[in-house]
Amino acid sequence: MTALTAAAPPMAADRPASGALSRAEAAALSPLLAALGCRMLGLFLLLPVLAPYVMELEAGSAELAGLALGAYGLTQAAMLLPLGWLSDRWGRKPVLCAGLLVFAAGGLLAASAAHPAAVVAGRALQGMGAISAVVLAGISDLTPPAKRAQGMALAGVAIGGAFALAIVLAAPLAALAGVRGLFIGTAVLALAAIPAVLACPLPAPRPAAADSAFIELRVLPYCLGVFGIHWAMAALFFHLPLRLAAADAPPAWLVYLLGFNLSLAVAVPLLLRRLRGDGVLWFAAPLLAAGLLLAPQLPGAALTIGALAAFFAGFNLLEALLPARASLAARAAGRGAALGAYAVCQALGVFVGAAVAGRLAAEHGDLGLYLAGAAALIWLPALRWAR
């Protein structure tokens, strides 16, 4: 056990606290955030360039290109819960390091592949290194309850920053080093994150307690919530681009950027405060649903950007608050398993949202959008189970 853990066990034992994260708390989280950012950057760098690369390989096809993009998500969804549970029994560090090694191995396999099927296998192996739930559990271990939403928000910043950086760098790096070089780069990033994980002051595991703690009913509302809001996100990004393309509107990327930046004026001040009770959830979820339903419907770019800002404000608040509340609802010994289930529901929400939106759009118009709005709200009454 590290000096930080031994000197301050209440941090992991849910002692009330106030104010922003202290420098010591932020420093304790930084290795986990660095590991998460490196892994996500390695993932996102491939997204803009992978499909054309697979189709250009010998025996390449659109079907195999789609599998190469999607195989990662399938194996990740399958491994999130088992790895979260193992982190409760064995500790966060061994599971994080193992996940990063598996991710690196997948990148090297894909880099050496001459056939598209081997690229698919490499992507599937990358997905098996599914450490995001373990990172969230580690953040929960190192932050007091009143500051946990801020810790989760920092994880969101790490992911968002990796995505923005990858979108800018992917094409130039692919032109310079090739897609094979990008796969090697993903492996290097994953391996570079391991020393950061080993330096993180995470508490020792409690395997005896983990044997008796799995996933509690109190965590279920937050799993339903993240499922619903990611269903909503997938539905929005199915319907809105079609409307923007059909209208005389600014470029879609500019609409998204302006809406997102405007949303920060609402979300950031609330996240920096001590958020107690369920009131902020009852505020954020309807805000998200209203933005979802209005953004594809309103005429004019300004109104669309305003509705999109409402959606992003609600979404960003819930993305930080829901995992924080889920970690508080779970017993400490079962926190990794609980957040693993939470992350599985997150991934399934995107899949269901996209599938429902696409299936219903042709025959029923905006019905899929309305269902997504309901999914973003219907979990709220279940909060009584979390008390």
What are the pLDDT digits (tens) for 235-267? 887 778 778 777 777 777 788 778 888 888 888
Report d(CA 94, CA 295) in Å as an integer.
44
Q: What is the dihedral of CA 18, 23, 27, 33, to 10 degrees?
A: 60
DSSP 199-224: HS-PPPP-HHHHHT----GGGHHHHH
Is residue 95 scored above 90 in pLDDT?
Answer: yes
What is the dihedral sign for C-alpha 357, 362, 364, 365?
A: positive
C-alpha to C-alpha distance for 264 and 270, rounded to whole angstroms: 10
> pLDDT category, 306, cuts 50, 70, 90?
very high
Per-residue pLDDT at 2 exceeds 70: no
Model-wide pTM > 0.85: no
Nearest partner of 20 among 284, 320, 271, 201, judged by Cα: 271
Domains 3-14+23-205 and 217-386 equal at CATH topology level: yes
Q: Which whole number is the average pLDDT over 8-16?
A: 35
What is the crossing angle of helices 23-44 and 148-199, to 10°? Answer: 80
DSSP per residue, 296-324: TT-SSHHHHHHHHHHHHHHHHHHHHHHHH
Yes or no: domain 217-386 corresponds to CATH 2.40.50.140? no
Which percentage of the chain shows pLDDT scores above 70? 88
Mean pLDDT on 71-78: 81
Give the pLDDT of residue 34.
86
Residue 345 or 384, more confident: 345
**Distance from C-alpha of 195 to C-alpha of 192, rounded to nearest angstrom:** 7
In the predicted model, what is the mean pLDDT of the chain? 80
Residue bearing the bigger pLDDT, 231 or 21? 231
Average pLDDT over residues 115-136: 89
pLDDT of 6 over the 80 cut: no
In sign, the C-alpha dihedral spanning 82, 339, 349, 312 is: negative
- Kindly list the domain boundaries of the chain, sorted by start residue: 3-14+23-205, 217-386
Architecture of the domain made up of 3-14+23-205: Up-down Bundle (1.20)
**212 vs 156, residue with greater confidence:** 156
pLDDT digits (tens, 9 = 90+) for 187-212: 998 998 899 899 888 887 765 554 44
Range with lowest mean pLDDT among 145-159, 169-183, 366-380: 145-159
Spatial distance between the Cα atoms of 108 and 186, rounded to a whole number of angstroms: 8
Supply 66's token pair.
């789609």
Exposed/middle/buried for residue 285 (C-beta within 10 Å: 0-12, 13-18, 19+): buried
- pLDDT at 1 (0 to 100): 27
Residue 105 to residue 107: CA distance in whole angstroms: 5
Q: Which two tokens stand for residue 265?
A: 């004026």
Per the CB < 8 A criterion, the answer to whether 244 and 296 are in contact is no
What are the phi and psi torsion angles at 20 (to 5°)?
A: -80, 170
Which secondary structure element, helix H or strand E, spans residue 369, and what is its range? helix 367-375
The yes-or-no verdict on residue 277 having pLDDT over 70 is no
Q: What are the tens digits of pLDDT across the range 328-342?
A: 888 777 778 888 888
The three-class DSSP label of residue 377 is coil
Give the mean pLDDT of 40-45. Answer: 80
CA 38 remoteness from chain centre: 14
Q: Using CA atoms of 44, 314, 227, 47 in order, give the dihedral in degrees to the nearest 10.
A: -10
Residue 73 scores a pLDDT above 70: yes
Q: Collapse the DSSP code of 172 into the 3-class scheme (helix H, G, I; strand E, B; otherwise coil) and give the result.
A: helix
Q: What is the DSSP string of 256-297?
A: HHHHHHHHHHHHHHHHTS---SSHHHHHHHHHHHHHHHHTTT
Which of 13-17, 113-117, 156-160, 327-331 comes out lowest in average pLDDT?
Answer: 13-17
